[in-house]
Structure 1
Amino acid sequence: MTTSEPLSPVSRTALSVARVRAYESSRPDPLFVDPYAAAFVTAAGLEPAPTRPDSALARALVAHGILRTRFYDDRLLAAGADQVVLLAAGLDTRAYRLDWPAGTRVFEIDLDPVLAFKAQVLDGLGAVPLVERTALPVDLLDARWPERLVEAGFDPARRSVWLAEGLLVYLSAEEAAGLLTAVTGLAAPGSRLLVEQGQDVSRTPHDPAFAHLTGLWRGGLGPGTDGWLDGHGWTTGITPLARIGEAYGRPLPDLSATRAFIEARRRTAD
């Protein structure tokens, strides 16, 4: 990796997710194809993901990451909003690989070292976004990030769709509530929010191979994520991961069975 500023431990988790996307993209029957994921892994000096994860937790995390990617791909495209905000976008390449409706604008928010590393790799490949893309280097724990987003061209008066993919678990409950409060203030009625239903992270099985991930988990709003959103201007729907696995023809390891995703719709002012 040749970026001038190193990635933080949390930011480096984006590389683990890229390994999962590269693994799925290499399968003969992939649920999605990310043609850039392997390049991130190589540029970071990491080994490719093994062809078969070797522990129960590994299989659960890989299955979760694969199904999450495809589910969010589908829901983002179906949201019917021409403003898309990717919170802590990491090494997300949806602006480069999805067939977005004409006029869509994608805003990617993350720390500067992450966006710089992504730009370095994608520019080296000659990758061109398929949609208008705005990369916004800002810390989501900085109270000024909503102002920065509006300055970059985001219009709070128009409908939008927000994605917080794998993010809240790395935040405390207070930080997660603060972030979602800011999103609520920017989301016009009818906007959508895609996020994972939280869990009690204290019950996560221990696996030394994944301590670099699970050791950073702080839990976010936990199992009450949907309830918090319902009480703060959103109407939520929950889709269990098991149902998504069935829909896509992918059986789930036992450890994934209780996971679920939230799709929330911004209500008019209460």
Structure 2
Amino acid sequence: MTDNNDGWDITTNLGATALAVAAQRAAETAQPNPLVRDEFAAILIDAVNEPGWQAMAKGDLAWMGPDDDVGRRTARAGRDYVAARTVFFDEFCAVATASGIRQVVILAAGLDARAYRLACLSGVEVFEIDQPAVQAFKDSTLRAHGATPTANVHPVAVDLRDARWPEMLAGAGWVESAPSAWLVEGLLPYLSSAEHDRLFGVVTGLSAPGSRLAAEVYHHSTRHFGDQRLGKWRDGAAGIGQALDIDVDVTAFIQHDDASDTASWLTQHGWAVESLDSRDEMTRLGRPVPPDLIEIAPASSLVTGVLPLP
């Protein structure tokens, strides 16, 4: 990750990406027939006390100009993407725990509340790795609201760029000899190719046979995340930021040298891999991307891997 991200909190630099995702989850929860229910997302957004994020979290798109039809539909498609992505990772957790895995590691956890809302994680050891300021905000906010996790939550307050994070993970009670389920959501666009390979190299080295992994992958060299799509994403983000009076450009932190193919990397390093296009997943869930927004709406590969037993 880029060096200028040192010391961010929940409202600055990459920390704001966690707010954006939480606001989208809250907005989806507010829909008549939501794909996902995350009541904790609105609690976390309210605690920030910034009108722009609170307006997004309401889910009614009233903050968009009434005459900006494309903007409203693009914002809705972005919300649908986050909802479908959330379902993908939720279902991954259910499959992993059903397979017998009892420890889950969430890399760059942000404001993820799965440990509080997923029944499949009841009694499971969940390790949440993220910046200390982000961890402190989430933990104190949910505790103040009397939220009780279904899982046994272990915050690991460390930047993933810190080579000591595996040591700190073990210090929090994670057991290397037991299989793990790894969640890599909303992280990879901000890693260079070298950082990508190093991260997955560490994760693979730490993974006991039977471990599972799920990752959201943007391919820079394809229509998932090429220069044209990135430009449209930046323009759209600027419009949303202006409408909400939020001065955050998360696209500024995207690493353009990342030519890594995560699925291929995992396959070459012993994982049994499956990959699906997020747009296919959105269609499966009844939220297809409108044809005229195919080149604007977010798109990624949703990758799962299993480290086979001997």
TM-score (normalised: structure 1): 0.90
2:69 equivalent to 1:65? no
| Deviation, structure 1 residue 218 | 1.1
Q: 1:222 offset after TM fit, Å?
A: 4.3
Shift of 1:76: 1.0
**Partner AA of 1:10 in structure 2:** L
Range 222-231 or range 237-246, more displaced = 222-231
C-alpha contact (below 8 Å) 1:242/1:256 kept by paired residues: no
Name the counterpart of 1:43. 47
Amino acid at match of 1:125: H
Do the aligned residues in 1 keep the contact of 2:107 with 2:183 (CA within 8 Å)? yes
Return the letter of the residue paired with 1:136. V
Larger deviation: 50-59 or 183-192?
Answer: 50-59
Q: Which residue of 2 aligns with 1:192?
A: 212
Q: Which amino acid in structure 1 is aligned with residue 181 of structure 2?
A: V
Q: 1:26 aligns with which of 12, 15, 30?
A: 30
CA distance in 2, matches of 1:122, 1:103: 19
Match of 1:77 in 2: 94
| Residue of structure 1 in register with 2:245 after alignment | none
Please give the secondary structure, in 2, of the residue aligned with 1:153. Answer: coil
Distance 1:28-1:57 versus aligned 2 partners, 3 A rule: closer
| Pairwise CA distance, 1:27 | 0.6
CA distance in 1, matches of 2:264, 2:138: 35
How much has 1:60 moved relative to structure 2?
A: 4.0
Please give the alpha-carbon distance, in whole angstroms, between the structure 2 residues aligned to 1:102 and 1:250.
Answer: 29
The alpha-carbon distance between structure 1 residues 59 and 222, as it changes in their structure 2 partners (threshold 3 A), is: farther
Give distance in 2, aligned partners of 1:166 and 1:158. Answer: 26
Identify the match of residue 138 of structure 1 among 121, 141, 158. 158
Q: Aligned ranges for residues 1-270 of structure 1 at < 5 Å?
A: 6-7=9-10, 8-44=12-48, 45=50, 46-49=53-56, 51-52=60-61, 54=71, 58-79=75-96, 80=99, 81-100=101-120, 102-200=122-220, 201=225, 202-203=227-228, 204=230, 205=232, 206-207=234-235, 208-209=238-239, 212-219=249-256, 221-222=258-259, 224-253=261-290, 254=294, 255-256=296-297, 258-267=299-308
Q: TM-score when scaled to structure 2?
A: 0.79
Question: Is the contact between residue 272 and residue 308 of structure 2 (CA under 8 Å) also seen in structure 1?
Answer: yes
Q: Compared with structure 1, are the counterparts of its residues 65 and 101 closer, same or farther at alpha carbon in structure 2 (3 Å cutoff)?
A: closer
Which amino acid in 1 is paired with 2:34? Answer: P
Shift of the 220–250 alpha-carbon distance from structure 1 to 2, 3 Å rule, reads farther
- Once the two structures are superposed, residues 160-210 of structure 1 have per-residue CA deviations (whole angstroms, 9 ceiling, x without a partner) of 110010101111111111111111111111211100222214331131236
Gaps of 5+ in 1: none
* Contact kept? 1:197, 1:222, Cα under 8 Å: no
Gap change, CA 1:42 and 1:102, over 3 Å in 2? closer
Please state which structure has a larger fraction of its residues in helix.
Answer: 2
Could you report, residue by residue, the CA deviation over 1:130-184 in whole angstroms, capped at 9, with x for unpaired residues?
1111011011111111111112111111111100101011111111111111111
Query: In structure 1, what residue type is equivalent to 2:60?
Result: T
Q: Deviations over 1:234-256 (max 9, x none)?
A: 22100111221222111124134
How big is the shift at 1:61? Answer: 2.9
Q: Highest CA radius of gyration, 1 or 2?
A: 2
Residues 59 and 131 from structure 1, CA distance in 2 versus in 1: closer, same or farther, beyond 3 angstroms? same
Q: 3-state DSSP class of the match of 1:70?
A: helix
Identity of aligned residues (%): 37
Cα gap change, 1:89 to 1:66, in 2 (>3 Å): same
- Secondary structure of 1:158's aligned partner: coil
**What is the Cα-based RMSD across aligned positions, in Å?**
2.3
TM-fit CA distance, 1:221: 4.4
Whole-angstrom CA distance in 1 between matches of 2:15 and 2:54: 18
Structure 1 stretches of 4+ with a deviation exceeding 4 A read 219-223
